[in-house]
Amino acid sequence: MGERDLLMIPGPIELEPSVLSRLAEKQRGHLDPVFMGRFSRTLKRLREVFQAPSAQPFVIAGTGTLAMELAAANLVQPGDHALVVNTGYFSDRMALMLERHGAAVTHVRATPGAAPSTAEVAAALATRKFQVLTVTHVDTSTGVLADVKAYASLAREHGALCVVDGVCSIGAEDLQQDAWGVDLALTASQKALGAPPGLAVVMAGPRALAAWKARTSPVRSVYLDFGEWLPVHQAYEALTPAYFATPAVNLISALEVSLELMLAEGLAARFARHVRVATAMRAGFEAMGLASLPQAGVRAHSLSALYYPAGVDAALVKAVGAQGVTIAGGLHPELKAKYFRVGHMGAVSANDVLATVSAVERSLVAAKVAVAPGAGVSAAERVLSGG
């Protein structure tokens, strides 16, 4: 990857210069008053981004996978039942974590590229008492966008906690945590939040915290236990020194900047921009004859997952990279060799869309695919220009 290559994978993503500048600042101590102020503002801004004024934020050094396991470790214990609304690879990962922490897991699955119906989920919920229902808002492996609002309503109706994996959605897709009745939502810093990799972010609502406090067995991991982190986060938000483990000072400082930029843009405007970018990108791909993995109606706005055309394989990813744009291969185990993925979240501009579509188009032409030069770029440009 060259210094001027464009990073268009489903995370990590291209970062705003001000975020990078903050990351490169001189190292500060974790009890430095300047950092404490930044951490406090970060926690408050996360409530705005998640639209969750009642939630308790946790920002812990780790990945999105750590955020997922924080949910599993604190909300289930041996003997509990968990229902997984399964839309791909990361739904399977959540199920594995729930099982490791003692839960009996039931899946409601859909074929790759689809999402389970609300009727299927309601029928499963009616079979027994479930402690949690988990939903992957956008599964990074399939590009499927789940109807969180509908699933959360069903969970509340049946007395289950609703846990939402928003790793590939928060900051790009609308998620109204409090209004929709989502009990715990989680993400990671390196995707649509627009910060460097390395932070697990969890927003625990009142019912989630109440369930954690009502546990009859201790959380099996010290590092994952809300009980170790809650006093620290409450102290930082109140600008009071506290310690459990050293926070990722530079990463949290960079996240503060990215959240400030997001809120300055406005959530509604940001979500609308992601819709416009995704629509333009897909118009370009469709003009090249590329078929989408996710079905119409459940296509995420943070990434696109596209089947290779006949006669083309994963070499296309390398060819596009040689054109100066880095994209990703497939991830879902059933389809891994059949498709590729393009991320378009965070600070993605119209120029980035056109550069990406053009790189894919040139690579397909070079592979002797029957694509009219300029067809994809023209289609994307019409969307971006409002045509």
Q: Is 29 part of any domain? A: yes
What is the pLDDT, as a whole number, of residue 4?
Answer: 78
**Spatial CB neighbours of 17, under 8 Å, sequence gap ≥ 6:** none
Segment 231-271, tens digit of pLDDT: 999 999 999 999 999 999 999 999 999 999 999 999 999 99
Looking at the DSSP bridge assignments, the partners of residue 84 are 107, 134
Residues 238 and 344 occupy one common structural domain: no
Q: What is the mean pLDDT of residues 371-381?
A: 96
pLDDT at 178 over 80: yes
Residues 255 and 378 occupy one common structural domain: no
On the CB side of 267, CA atoms within 13 Å amount to 15
With a pLDDT cut of 70, the percent of the chain lying above it is 99
pLDDT at 193 over 80: yes
Q: What is the mean pLDDT of residues 38-64?
A: 98
pLDDT band at 2 (very low <50, low <70, confident <90, very high): low
| The domain boundary residue, chosen from 248, 264, 280 | 264
Residues 310 and 175 occupy one common structural domain: no
Residues 236 and 125 occupy one common structural domain: yes
Query: Mean pLDDT in the chain?
Result: 97
Residues 252 and 290 occupy one common structural domain: no
Q: What is the mean pLDDT of residues 269-284?
A: 98
Q: Is 118 part of any domain? A: yes
| The domain boundary residue, chosen from 231, 264, 297 | 264
Segment 28-40, tens digit of pLDDT: 999 999 999 999 9
Residues 368 and 331 occupy one common structural domain: yes
Instruction: Identify whether 247 is preceded by a cis peptide bond (ω within 30 of 0).
Output: no
What is the pLDDT, as a whole number, of residue 291?
Answer: 98
| The domain boundary residue, chosen from 264, 289, 319 | 264
Residues 199 and 346 occupy one common structural domain: no
Residues 247 and 322 occupy one common structural domain: no
Segment 147-167, tens digit of pLDDT: 999 999 999 999 999 999 999
Residues 238 and 303 occupy one common structural domain: no
Q: What is the mean pLDDT of residues 265-280?
A: 98
pLDDT band at 1 (very low <50, low <70, confident <90, very high): low
Q: What is the mean pLDDT of residues 3-9?
A: 90
Segment 69-86, tens digit of pLDDT: 999 999 999 999 999 999
pLDDT at 3 over 90: no
Q: Dump the DSSP string for 216-256.
A: SS--S-TTT-HHHHHHHHHHHHTT----SS---HHHHHHHH
Whether the Cβ atoms of residue 283 and residue 379 lie closer than 8 Å to each other: yes
The count of domains in the chain is 2
Q: Is 1 part of any domain? A: no
d(CA 110, CA 297): 14
Instruction: Identify whether 12 is preceded by a cis peptide bond (ω within 30 of 0).
Output: yes
Residues 332 and 271 occupy one common structural domain: yes
Residues 210 and 284 occupy one common structural domain: no
pLDDT at 125 over 80: yes
Q: Which domain holds residue 177?
A: 17-264
Q: What is the mean pLDDT of residues 204-233?
A: 97
Q: Is 44 part of any domain? A: yes
| Tokens 């546990």 sit on residue | 215
Segment 306-336, tens digit of pLDDT: 999 999 999 999 999 999 999 999 999 999 9
CATH of the domain at 183: 3.40.640.10
Whether the Cβ atoms of residue 23 and residue 253 lie closer than 8 Å to each other: yes
pLDDT at 194 over 70: yes
CATH of the domain at 276: 3.90.1150.10
Residues 243 and 306 occupy one common structural domain: no
Looking at the DSSP bridge assignments, the partners of residue 45 are none
